[in-house]
């Protein structure tokens, strides 16, 4: 039994434990239609969805790489087939042929927070703020494969990604990203990997230049502490990465100070000169303020649009 499993069990005696093997089966890949390639779900036959639910984990038994998928039931799908795109194949490092089968099982679930005040805060505050962040700053989300960072990064709260991936996210070094796995989330700053010494981080196929290029761009180096916090089971697990709206908004807060002060000064002057009512003054301010914020943050949105 691994040390991590013993830590999860705590002081529970290790004798007389019952180990239940999760239900799984092997599947083949179906080729998705062009308009389904970029969808957030994967088409599957009703039998697979009923057996494993809509949230599954796909595992390559040859290397242990795994990725979480959301299934959508489709009566036209072939039995024991998932219609996922080539990006999923790259994450799993598989050709998805009959000689290269994949394993499907029910996704591991993390306990949700108890209903009540936590749910109220999430629905009433966090969700609207996230929607506003997506509107003002822009949303960009990627799935990357977890690996080890540099040894000297282990005591730091950061992660490493390829410079091209960072640019694709529209971010700069030391900007913060949100890493998610099974409903667990951490926010960490990003640094670039040294592209001249990638082999120190990633086990590369020296004979295949294309595979070396792909693996380096799918990589995200996460420290052991962060992997434990996210409950990532193994190296090669795929996680979701997106821009941190809060940190990007705070980063550009200085750009908003002068426009907002100018707005307040203008509204106050108009209130005095035109004898506006307080209600009208407040209404105009609430209308103009989002417009000013949206315009000021246009440069940040342009990085991903």
Say if residues 81 and 128 touch (Cβ distance below 8 Å).
no
Contacts of 248 (CB under 8 A, 6+ apart): 133, 137, 171, 175, 176, 300
Distance CA 243, CA 138 (A): 9
pTM: 0.84
Comparing CA positions, the residue from 85, 42, 214 lying closest to residue 144 is 214
Task: List, in sequence order, the alpha helices (H) in the chain.
Answer: 3-9, 46-52, 86-92, 117-121, 127-136, 163-168, 209-217, 224-230, 245-251, 253-273, 278-296, 298-302
Point out the least confidently predicted range of 26-30, 54-58, 130-134, 204-208. 204-208
Its CATH architecture, for the domain 17-106, is: Beta Barrel (2.40)
CA separation for the pair 73, 76 (Å, rounded): 9
Q: Assign 43 a pLDDT band (cuts: 50, 70, 90).
A: very high
136-250: what fold?
Barwin-like endoglucanases (2.40.40)
Q: Are 102 and 52 in contact (CB under 8 A)?
A: no
Q: For position 114, what pLDDT does the model report?
A: 52
Which of the four pLDDT bands, split at 50, 70 and 90, describes residue 205? low
Could you report the per-residue pLDDT of 207-262, keeping only the tens digit for each? 677 788 888 999 999 999 999 999 999 999 999 999 988 888 888 888 888 888 88
Q: Coil, strand, or helix at residue 202?
A: coil
Separation between Cα atoms, residue 176 and residue 162, nearest integer Å = 15
- For residue 299, give the DSSP letter: H
pLDDT of residue 122: 62
197 versus 284: which is more confidently predicted? Answer: 284
- pLDDT band at 273; cut points 50, 70, 90: confident
- Using alpha carbons, list the distances in angstroms from residue 220 to 127, 153, 223, 229: 27, 13, 10, 16
**Whole-angstrom distance, CA of residue 32 vs CA of residue 44:** 10
Alpha helices for 10-116 (secondary structure H): 46-52, 86-92
Predicted pLDDT at 162: 95
Per-domain boundaries in the chain:
17-106, 136-250, 252-302
Q: Do 263 and 287 touch, CB atoms closer than 8 A?
A: no
Identical topology for domains 17-106 and 136-250: yes
Instruction: Give me the percent of the chain exceeding a pLDDT of 90.
Output: 42
In b/e form, how buried is each residue of 15-35, taking b as 16+ CB within 10 angstroms? eeeeeeeeeeeebebbebeee
């Amino acid at each position: 039994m691994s040390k991590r499993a013993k830590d999860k069990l705590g002081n529970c005696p290790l004798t007389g434990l019952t180990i239940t093997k999760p239900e799984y089966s092997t599947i083949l890949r179906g080729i998705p239609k062009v308009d389904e390639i970029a969808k957030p779900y994967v088409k599957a036959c009703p039998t697979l969805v009923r057996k494993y639910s809509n949230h599954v984990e796909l595992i390559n038994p040859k290397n242990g790489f795994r990725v979480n998928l959301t299934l959508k039931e489709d009566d036209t799908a072939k039995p024991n087939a998932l219609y996922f795109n080539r990006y999923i194949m790259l994450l799993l490092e598989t050709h998805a042929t009959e000689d290269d089968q994949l394993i499907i099982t029910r996704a591991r679930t993390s306990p949700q927070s108890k209903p009540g005040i936590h749910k109220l805060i999430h629905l009433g505050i966090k969700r609207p703020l996230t929607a506003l962040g997506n509107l003002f700053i822009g949303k960009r989300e990627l799935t990357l494969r977890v690996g080890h960072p540099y040894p000297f990064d282990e005591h730091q709260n950061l992660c490493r990604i390829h410079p091209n991936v960072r640019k694709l996210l529209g971010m700069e070094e030391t900007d913060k990203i949100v890493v998610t796995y099974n409903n667990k989330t951490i926010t960490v700053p990003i640094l670039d990997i040294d592209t001249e010494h990638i082999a120190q981080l990633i086990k590369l196929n020296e004979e295949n230049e294309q595979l070396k290029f792909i693996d380096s761009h799918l990589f995200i180096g996460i420290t052991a502490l962060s992997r434990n916090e996210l409950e990532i089971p193994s190296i090669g697990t795929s996680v979701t990465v997106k821009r941190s709206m809060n940190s990007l908004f705070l980063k550009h807060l200085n750009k908003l100070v002068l426009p907002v002060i100018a707005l307040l000064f203008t509204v106050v002057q108009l209130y005095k000169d035109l004898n506006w009512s307080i209600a009208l003054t407040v209404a105009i301010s609430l209308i103009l303020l989002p417009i000013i914020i949206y315009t000021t943050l246009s440069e940040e949105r342009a990085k991903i649009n």
